[in-house]
Structure 1
């Protein structure tokens, strides 16, 4: 089968021919139909997360994917051959950018009928980051105001919709045609950060979802009401600054173990959340998809078709 692999940290990913995996105990062999690219894949490949997610080489990239169960291993009772599923294994396992993947059954959930494999593959990391960061870490409540940075990006498109479904007033930053796009997804107000200063918003907020870090994160503290919450997915916030402002600030790390992936997928379906796909690329076009993801300027999600 064909798979996208790296031989070491920093190695340029390449499509290679490798042996098809066998499902072990508690695992399913899955024919992958679609896999979503994430900033996480770039960070893993570069070695930025080696202390948290040490990889064994050669390593097949890809953490978010969807497809069909082809075989089941011993002690698997939750799935049968032919079932359509979404998978999100531990990042150190990877395996999604391949025609077949052996995955722990515990890391899989059924693909709901309304969703296509392309859409299902986009949900785990981006959707999970948005859902759990906003509703669990930030504890966003009905009637509150939230500012979501990068509202037209992979996490941001989910975040705007989840926040709106939660009954919040949603502010977002974006640029170019992303401004209209974030508004279309439900944002009540969108700031074009290239021509407007979000820090001069003139509207206090209860929650900031920081998907950018750096100066954007630092300047966001000034918008928070006393008792407000800032949650960052990219860098640890300044604890002293938070204390001085009378707000809380935390770094978010995604955990999709156990039933949390199922909870997330249900949240997408039950809230009518639109899974936004920027482009779909065949396996042969992986280098272009990878360059697009690595640029850091993708709109919504890039999907690899297998």
Structure 2
């Protein structure tokens, strides 16, 4: 089978499409024939070597976290799925391995694919959708009539964060590029700020939560946008940020929280139900696995709206 691996840290040029043996499965595992995987910013942070503390430095390594596919084979103790079932799932966020023709998983790693989604749409759902749920419902604890600022609102997480925050009754200010204005309006944002025309630090408004999905707004700069008791959320889980957040949160009403995605079977099933109920999934571009380097190079430039996916056929 085909599998994308890398043997050193670097840019997308380290990614190699190789031939590997189809993995065997244990009694509690399923063999999935992968149909599509989505591209996440965490991918290039890991293969770029920024997350060595979490990912380790032993090679070869693999890429691809969330995926969709079809159950090919089940272990003897598997009860919830059978061969032929269409599924969506995700692997360990720091180890990956889904960018392959086949992958071995446990039942807790997958959920039935919503019938109203294509395999490409389904692959784009787990990582960013679960991240948005964790940010809105846990880290920010968004409730009705709260003012929420989402910086980078048209990226993979932002697509879902805007929609889920609106479902929770919040007033959402979405910060986007010029080409993202129409999309943010469609997803329900109450106020839209084009960062190419306005410095968000000068908005003159304070928020209950400032969610930075662009990784370009610092906690220090965000403080002018925060109420006395509020939270700033970043998606960059660096060791220094984690240490600083712990110290800051002991003494300040302006909290700093870091997203570290925690996937659960319950969360994945909740997310697929939201998708069945009409949660919008936005695909920017679809690539063939043979164009894997191009796919990651273009996605890492940060100008896409929604998600890009890689298709295996």
TM over 0.5: yes
SS in 1 for 2:97: coil
Q: Is the 8 A contact 1:221 1:242 kept in 2?
A: no
Q: Normalised by the size of structure 1, how large is the TM-score?
A: 0.92
**Pairwise mapping of residues 273-284 of structure 1 onto structure 2 (< 5 A)?**
273-284=279-290
Q: Is the 8 A contact 1:210 1:234 kept in 2?
A: no
**Pairwise mapping of residues 162-177 of structure 1 onto structure 2 (< 5 A)?**
162-177=164-179
Structure 2 unmatched ranges of 5 or more: none
1:4 aligns with 2:11: no
Task: Give the aligned partner of residue 224 of structure 2.
Answer: 222
Residue 22 (structure 1) shift:
1.6
Q: Deviations over 1:243-264 (max 9, x none)?
A: 7863222112110034222222
Residue 266 (structure 1) shift:
2.2
Residue 125 (structure 1) shift:
1.1
Rounded to whole Å, the distance in 2 between the matches of 1:273 and 1:219 is 32
- CA gap of 1:141–1:54, structure 2 versus 1, over 3 A, is same
Task: Give the aligned partner of residue 248 of structure 1.
Answer: 255
Q: Is the 8 A contact 2:6 2:62 kept in 1?
A: yes
Rounded to whole Å, the distance in 1 between the matches of 2:63 and 2:282 is 22
Task: Give the aligned partner of residue 131 of structure 2.
Answer: 129
Rounded to whole Å, the distance in 1 between the matches of 2:217 and 2:93 is 29
Task: Give the aligned partner of residue 153 of structure 2.
Answer: 151
Q: Is the 8 A contact 2:25 2:75 kept in 1?
A: yes
Task: Give the aligned partner of residue 18 of structure 1.
Answer: 20
Task: Give the aligned partner of residue 295 of structure 1.
Answer: 301
Match of residue 271, structure 2, among 264, 268, 271: 264
Q: Larger deviation: 147-156 or 193-202?
A: 193-202
Rounded to whole Å, the distance in 2 between the matches of 1:282 and 1:85 is 20
SS in 2 for 1:9: coil
Q: Normalised by the size of structure 2, how large is the TM-score?
A: 0.90
Rounded to whole Å, the distance in 1 between the matches of 2:78 and 2:58 is 26
Rounded to whole Å, the distance in 2 between the matches of 1:100 and 1:64 is 13
Residue 52 (structure 1) shift:
1.3
Rounded to whole Å, the distance in 2 between the matches of 1:22 and 1:149 is 43
Rounded to whole Å, the distance in 1 between the matches of 2:260 and 2:31 is 28
SS in 2 for 1:90: coil
Rounded to whole Å, the distance in 1 between the matches of 2:42 and 2:253 is 32
- CA gap of 1:241–1:80, structure 2 versus 1, over 3 A, is closer
Residue 30 (structure 1) shift:
0.6
Superposition CA RMSD, Å: 2.0
- CA gap of 1:55–1:85, structure 2 versus 1, over 3 A, is farther
Residue 168 (structure 1) shift:
0.9
May I ask how many residue pairs the two structures share in their alignment?
A: 305
SS in 2 for 1:259: helix
Residue 74 (structure 1) shift:
2.7
Residue 213 (structure 1) shift:
3.6
- CA gap of 1:222–1:4, structure 2 versus 1, over 3 A, is same
Q: Larger deviation: 4-13 or 141-150?
A: 4-13
